[in-house]
Structure 1
Amino acid sequence: MRILVAEDDKKVLSHVAGALRAAGHAVDATGDGEEAQWLLMENPYDAAVLDIMMPGRDGVSVTRAVRAAGRALLILLATARSDVRDRVSGLDAGADDYIVKPYSTEELLARLRALQRRAKPDLDPMLRVADLEIDLRARVARRAGQEIPLTNREFALLEVLAEASPRPVSKATLVERVWDQHFDSGTNVLNVYISYLRKKVDLPGCVPLLQTLRGIGFALREGAA
């Protein structure tokens, strides 16, 4: 998707934009509400993540103006406020959903995927790689018809790999999307989880799918690494 991120906190803006780009999205970023509205009016975005409190123009006002202009993109409002009235005003202005700050990029990506599925109800909620099936709605994975017992972290890792299949995913991207952290080459956590996942996914008698690509990352696919 092509996504606009509008956030006046520069550190948050950089982190969120980076995470969305790492997830394969095309991202524009701004810290000003007026510029956000201009960008949304002039460009065909698929989605926008708008902070409610911004200089120039707040996220609710931007949302209201964009909807009045007939723009049909997905809009997710980010707010540090816990007041229900703020959320209601944003939804009434035309936002599709809201997310409360501070939030993890994992939650943000999940909410955007959910909005995509809601906007396109015919979108297949099932990811398939060979005889591996991943049901995104039920959060269940099966290999050759047999359910695979996965932790939430293992499922998130498998989902990222399956979404990219057959393309490889770098270690940095996996850590960013699954653990919401920048990659630390000194830690072995990712390799440990890949080992756990491989034992569960590559069942005896099944063609190995989870591949390690030296110097690149990991891939979920049939065929030679």
Structure 2
Amino acid sequence: MSYFTKAKFLTSAPGITHLSPFEGIEIAFAGRSNAGKSSALNKLTRQKNLARTSKTPGRTQLINLFELDEYRRLVDLPGYGYAQVPIAMKKKWQKSLGEYLQKRECLRGLVVLMDIRHPLKDLDQDLIFWAVSAKLPVLILLTKADKLKAGKRKAQTLMVREAALAFQGDVSVHAFSSLSGIGLSEAENKLMTWLEVSKTTNDDE
């Protein structure tokens, strides 16, 4: 059984400044509003409705916290870049997002989700540069990988891996599909390392 099946909804916060201090470990998930972030979280946790998927990308503007155990959490950040919100609100959110990545002491890693067909948009790159400047490791998941044939999927993944070298940080890249499970085990292994979950921890719980 996967460690992530124990995830349960903890709380929602209207903004990054509303998150209370936490002594454990948090892993944040971020991505454009149509990148399939909620679907990826549901696939990871083997729960159909843990993270709510919306037919209108960008509708969710709350930060959602999911508890794995009392020391470990997953943080679902609002989607960006698609929602029909005022420019001033977008800029305010981007500023607070940068502060969160650089000042949230319990944050141990950032998962950035991108549609494999449209990777590395400007906001995606801003996010990764913020994380790298804060010495955070980054996992890029190229979602909807099932929509490409194997050859094209591999070529896209290699292209993004090469482009990611420019960030000059701890940035890894994997193709991912919440439908077929492509890349699921790689994502799990990376997150388990960040969360400092050992086989012993799993056995004890």
Alignment TM class, shorter chain as reference: 0.3 to 0.5
Q: Which protein, 1 or 2, shows the higher relative CO under an 8 Å CA cutoff with sep ≥ 6?
A: 2
- TM-score normalised to the size of structure 2? 0.46
Give 1 or 2 for the bigger CA radius of gyration: 1
